[in-house]
Amino acid sequence: MRKIKEVLRLKWANQLSHRQIAMQCGISRPTVSEYIRRAEESKLSWPLPESLNERQLENRLFPPPPQPQNRDRKGPNWHDVCQQLKSKNVTLFLLWQEYRSIHPQGYQYSWFCDHYKNWLGKRDVVMRQNHKAGEKLFVDYAGHTMPVVDRLTGEIRQAQIFVGVMGASNYTYADATWTQSLPDWIGSHQRCFAFLGGVPDIVVPDNLRAGVSKAHRYDPDINPTYQDMAVHYGVAVIPARVRRPKDKAKAELGVQVVERWILAALRHHTFFSLAELNQRLSQLITTLNARAFKKLPGSRQSQFDAIDHPALSALPAQPYSYAEWKKVRVHIDYHVEIEGHYYSVPYTLVKKQLDARFTQHTVECFHQGQRVASHVRSYRRGGHSTVTAHMPESHRQYGDWSPQRLVNWARQTGPGTAEIITRILAARQHPQQGFRSCLGIMRLEKSYTKQRLEAACQRALTLGSYRYKSIESILEHGLDQQALAPQQELELPQDHDNVRGSSYYH
């Protein structure tokens, strides 16, 4: 349902074509048409009503289908089709009409065309792209980097150069970041939109990891954080096809211009900070955009002011708050793990998979598009953030997991194991926060034996260490099979040069 909502947003809010929406969402163009047709027949409009949840939307768009009717369909002879097309004025549509006259229950025209092209093995041809005003922004990283020297240590770091180019005017933007990681990638987009003073309809990136989670020629998966930023700015992300640089020729040319006219000009300059490098890049980018074209009237700046800028959408009132997304599985203690810290969710979601969105200050968990939990983010590894409302009235639900059950289970191994489990549960504010450690200790008997696990727990009790890692280390090093040496008191020597004796003080 999230993908269907994205299709409706791009169609009704961004006014994109069905082909562009298909590339953005990773689905076929007929599927896009089908979704929109069903939405129009259901009398839906954008934005969707807030009271309409995902299940209700699915029922309205996909009612129970009628029973399919069996049809005796026969495909055409593609070799004959190919031969007839060589005749003058013969088209695929004409041949399809003749085919349908012979086979009234035959396939539709779109199927006819697609299967003929697949049979023919037709290759893509080079096509000159005509860019509409304010429609596309092409983004990429330059192949060259810029060295930045640390004043204190003399260490040289290589800064990455982000380049953005508007399709219609060739208006160019560039900035420097330390890496090509997701935070820097998102930050460069935000600064680029601010530099443009508006938002284009489409952003065309390369298939780098920060932009595309899984590169694919026909069905790329957009990084969830990148998609979240696109929704915030109301822009569509359509990656270039893999190994098809002509899909982003503007970016390739823009990178080349930046490398030759800016980076090459700075090759003898030494920069001591990223801010200093960006300040110089900003000055040179302004000069580049103001430089007159050689074969066309005006400059990048004048073309942008006249063509692209008036067609850009307005920037949102609030800047995008950087957030990362992660799929998490709810453990039996109704907590999910995010970067070493555990956050509670409603216990009814045990063993379910959720979408977690976390920013610098907050953590949110979503189930089927609905937010089910929200926490203040904590960076304490191994800690727990638990909301009392998420806890069940009886912890015997979902398999009857409870502190007493864990203790009884541990007694089957031995009293030492039961004592370790008891102390772990007693040390937590909520016993359920210790379930993971307890289950981890109990599962050690699968790799070792009950006898060895009991011996390791007895040794841990003697040492006063009740952590899972301590018991695991004892078993890994075979210390449970060795006797614990008793600590003996050291006897002081009676005859030593440094021992004065009682007579010294008389």
Q: What is the CATH number of the domain that holds 278?
A: 3.30.420.10
Quote the CA–CA distance of 339 and 323 in Å, as a whole number. 14
Q: What's the whole-number average pLDDT of the chain?
A: 81
Nearest to 397 by CA among 357, 351, 442: 351
Predicted confidence band of residue 296 (pLDDT cuts 50, 70, 90): confident
Checking if the pLDDT of 286 tops 50, the result is yes
Note the pLDDT of residue 335: 92
Listed residues 352, 368, 390: the one ending a domain: 390
Q: Tell me the H-state helices in 18-164.
A: 18-25, 29-41, 54-61, 78-85, 92-102, 109-120
Note the pLDDT of residue 89: 72
Q: Which residue has the higher pLDDT, 247 or 193?
A: 193
Both tokens of 324, joined, read: 């990362």
Check if the beta carbon of residue 203 is closer than 8 Å to that of residue 139.
yes
Give the distance, in angstroms, between the CA of residue 188 and the centroid of all CA atoms in the same chain.
17
Check if the beta carbon of residue 409 is closer than 8 Å to that of residue 435.
no
Note the pLDDT of residue 117: 84
Between the ranges 139-143, 272-276, 428-432, 443-447, where is the mean pLDDT highest? 272-276
Domain for residue 495, yes or no? no
Over residues 301-319, mean pLDDT: 88
256 with 234, same domain: the answer is yes
Checking if the pLDDT of 231 tops 70, the result is yes
Domain for residue 72, yes or no? no
Check if the beta carbon of residue 238 is closer than 8 Å to that of residue 12.
no
Quote the CA–CA distance of 424 and 428 in Å, as a whole number. 7
Over residues 217-235, mean pLDDT: 76
Angle at 275 between CA 273 and CA 278, to 5 degrees: 115
336 with 443, same domain: the answer is no
Note the pLDDT of residue 33: 87
3-state SS, one letter per residue, for 435-451 = HHHHHHHHCHHHHCCHH
The number of distinct structural domains making up the chain is: 5
Note the pLDDT of residue 206: 78
Domain for residue 292, yes or no? yes
Predicted confidence band of residue 425 (pLDDT cuts 50, 70, 90): confident
Quote the CA–CA distance of 118 and 116 in Å, as a whole number. 5
Check if the beta carbon of residue 323 is closer than 8 Å to that of residue 358.
yes
Checking if the pLDDT of 365 tops 90, the result is yes
Listed residues 249, 278, 311: the one ending a domain: 311
- By three-state DSSP, how is residue 481 classified? helix
Q: Tell me the H-state helices in 237-298.
A: 249-258, 274-290
Check if the beta carbon of residue 156 is closer than 8 Å to that of residue 149.
yes
Q: List CB contacts of 25: < 8 A, sequence separation 6 or more.
A: 3, 6, 7, 10, 32
Note the pLDDT of residue 329: 93
Listed residues 390, 418, 448: the one ending a domain: 390
Q: List CB contacts of 90: < 8 A, sequence separation 6 or more.
A: 84
Predicted confidence band of residue 330 (pLDDT cuts 50, 70, 90): very high
Domain for residue 97, yes or no? yes
202 with 276, same domain: the answer is yes
Going by DSSP bridges, is the β-strand pair 172-177/146-149 parallel, antiparallel, or unpaired? Answer: unpaired
164 with 293, same domain: the answer is yes
Nearest to 196 by CA among 150, 278, 275, 139: 139
Checking if the pLDDT of 127 tops 60, the result is no
Over residues 155-166, mean pLDDT: 91
Note the pLDDT of residue 448: 87
106 with 171, same domain: the answer is no
270 with 149, same domain: the answer is yes
Over residues 419-443, mean pLDDT: 81
Over residues 190-194, mean pLDDT: 92
Over residues 279-307, mean pLDDT: 88
150 with 263, same domain: the answer is yes
Domain for residue 492, yes or no? no
Domain for residue 487, yes or no? no
Checking if the pLDDT of 394 tops 80, the result is no
Among 7-11, 60-64, 71-75, 407-411, the least confident range: 71-75
Check if the beta carbon of residue 189 is closer than 8 Å to that of residue 211.
no
Domain that holds residue 364: 324-390
Over residues 456-463, mean pLDDT: 87
Quote the CA–CA distance of 189 and 201 in Å, as a whole number. 14
347 with 427, same domain: the answer is no
Note the pLDDT of residue 192: 92
Among 177-186, 248-257, 438-447, the least confident range: 248-257
Domain for residue 163, yes or no? yes
260 with 351, same domain: the answer is no
Check if the beta carbon of residue 250 is closer than 8 Å to that of residue 138.
yes
Domain for residue 209, yes or no? yes
Note the pLDDT of residue 501: 65
Note the pLDDT of residue 396: 43
Over residues 210-234, mean pLDDT: 70
**For 11-70, how does the pLDDT look when each residue is reduced to its tens digit (9 = 90+)?**
878 888 888 888 888 888 888 888 888 888 877 778 777 777 777 777 777 776 565 454
Note the pLDDT of residue 162: 92
Note the pLDDT of residue 241: 63
Q: DSSP label at 430?
A: S
Quote the CA–CA distance of 34 and 118 in Å, as a whole number. 23
Both tokens of 330, joined, read: 């709810």
Nearest to 175 by CA among 233, 186, 312: 186
Check if the beta carbon of residue 353 is closer than 8 Å to that of residue 328.
yes
Quote the CA–CA distance of 133 and 142 in Å, as a whole number. 25
Question: How many distinct helices (H) and strands (E) make up the chain?
Answer: 20, 15
143 with 44, same domain: the answer is no
362 with 463, same domain: the answer is no
407 with 461, same domain: the answer is yes
Going by DSSP bridges, is the β-strand pair 335-338/362-367 parallel, antiparallel, or unpaired? Answer: unpaired
**Which H or E element spans position 472?**
helix 468-476
